[in-house]
């Protein structure tokens, strides 16, 4: 019952729930594919006007690729901090948990927004490489193992070794995305600044309702991943409240 309530609350806050003001419509239309745009107002002249506004609004949003790459830079920065001098076990534990949370949210949003677009435009093989053992799947497996460990229970050396294994894999995956797939994607016909901004807006929205723990057994393609995320994210959020003493980090 609680799960259903949480999912209903998320639906209420879904970008598709209420689109009654020009600002809301502009925001929603900016992130909507043309075939599934929400209804905005009753005047027949409004949608076109809102769509024009949406274009301007979308241009204010950074490209999805710069947003994704910014996340990658944050992961590297957290990992560097973890390996820095004067770090005690408690500080390392908090950074390990923060990395698990941020990587889970990032992966979830990529799977909702970017990889379907990669599948559509670059082909299924490219998307499957990003999702498969070379990409997210193995990373989720490693982060799940790490998530069951603690510095206190397993010792700092074992915890760090497992996190290093996960980060080595993540660095390889980041290289694949940044050096191989994004340049190919950006060079495709029809991929322009406007589309990348629209996707950026959707990526931002997907992160707002993303899971915060790794779930290697969960579906990773739409629409099932979106449904699974809506059911699972509230449980992750509850677990994070305990883990982060009521203050999950925001990056
Ligand atoms: Fe990524
Ligand atoms: Fe990725």
pTM: 0.76
249 CA to centre of ligand 2 in angstroms = 21
147 CA to centre of ligand 2 in angstroms = 19
Q: Tell whether 161 and 132 lie within a shared domain.
A: yes
75 CA to centre of ligand 2 in angstroms = 12
Q: Tell whether 164 and 100 lie within a shared domain.
A: yes
The ligand whose atoms approach the alpha carbon of 135 most closely is 2
The ligand whose atoms approach the alpha carbon of 73 most closely is 1
Q: State how far the alpha carbon of 87 is from the alpha carbons of 83, 91, 162, 250, in Å.
A: 8, 6, 17, 21
CA-wise closest residue to 226 among 211, 238, 239: 211
Residue 250 within a domain: no
Full pLDDT tens readout for the chain, 251 residues? 344 344 334 433 333 222 323 333 333 333 333 333 333 333 333 233 333 333 444 457 899 999 999 999 999 999 999 999 999 999 999 999 999 999 999 999 999 999 999 999 999 999 999 999 999 999 999 999 999 999 999 999 999 999 999 999 999 999 999 999 999 999 999 999 999 999 999 999 999 999 999 999 999 999 999 999 999 999 999 999 888 887 777 76
Q: Tell whether 38 and 136 lie within a shared domain.
A: no
Q: Range of 99's domain?
A: 62-243
Q: Tell whether 109 and 168 lie within a shared domain.
A: yes
Q: Tell whether 32 and 109 lie within a shared domain.
A: no
Rounded to a whole number, what is the distance in angstroms from the first to the last CA of the chain? 31
26 CA to centre of ligand 1 in angstroms = 27
* The two three-digit tokens of residue 46, written as one number: 């409004």
168 CA to centre of ligand 2 in angstroms = 14
65 CA to centre of ligand 1 in angstroms = 9
Q: Which residues surround ligand 2, an ion (CB under 5 A)?
A: 110
Q: Tell whether 55 and 146 lie within a shared domain.
A: no
Number of domains in the chain: 2
């Amino acid at each position: 019952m609680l799960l259903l309530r949480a999912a209903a609350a998320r639906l209420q806050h879904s970008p598709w729930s209420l689109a009654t003001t020009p600002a809301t419509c502009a925001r929603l239309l900016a992130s909507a594919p043309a075939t599934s745009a929400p209804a905005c107002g009753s005047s027949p002249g409004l949608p076109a006007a809102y769509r024009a506004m949406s274009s301007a609004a979308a241009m204010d949003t950074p490209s999805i690729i710069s947003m994704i790459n910014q996340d990658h830079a944050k992961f590297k920065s957290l990992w560097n901090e973890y390996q820095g001098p004067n770090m005690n076990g408690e500080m390392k534990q908090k950074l390990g948990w923060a990395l698990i949370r941020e990587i889970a949210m990032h992966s979830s949003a990529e799977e909702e927004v970017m990889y379907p677009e990669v599948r559509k435009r670059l082909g299924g093989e490219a998307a499957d490489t990003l999702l498969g053992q070379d990409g997210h799947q193995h990373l989720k497996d490693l982060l799940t193992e790490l998530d069951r460990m603690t510095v206190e229970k397993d010792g700092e050396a074992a915890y760090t070794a497992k996190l290093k294994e996960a980060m080595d894999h993540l660095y390889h995956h980041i290289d694949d995305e940044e050096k191989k797939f994004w340049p190919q994607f950006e060079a495709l016909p029809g991929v322009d600044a406007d589309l990348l901004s629209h996707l950026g807006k959707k990526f931002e929205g997907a992160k707002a309702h993303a899971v915060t723990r790794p779930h290697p057994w969960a579906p990773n393609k739409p629409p099932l991943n979106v449904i699974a995320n809506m059911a699972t994210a509230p449980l992750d959020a509850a677990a994070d409240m305990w883990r982060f003493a009521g203050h999950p980090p925001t990056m």
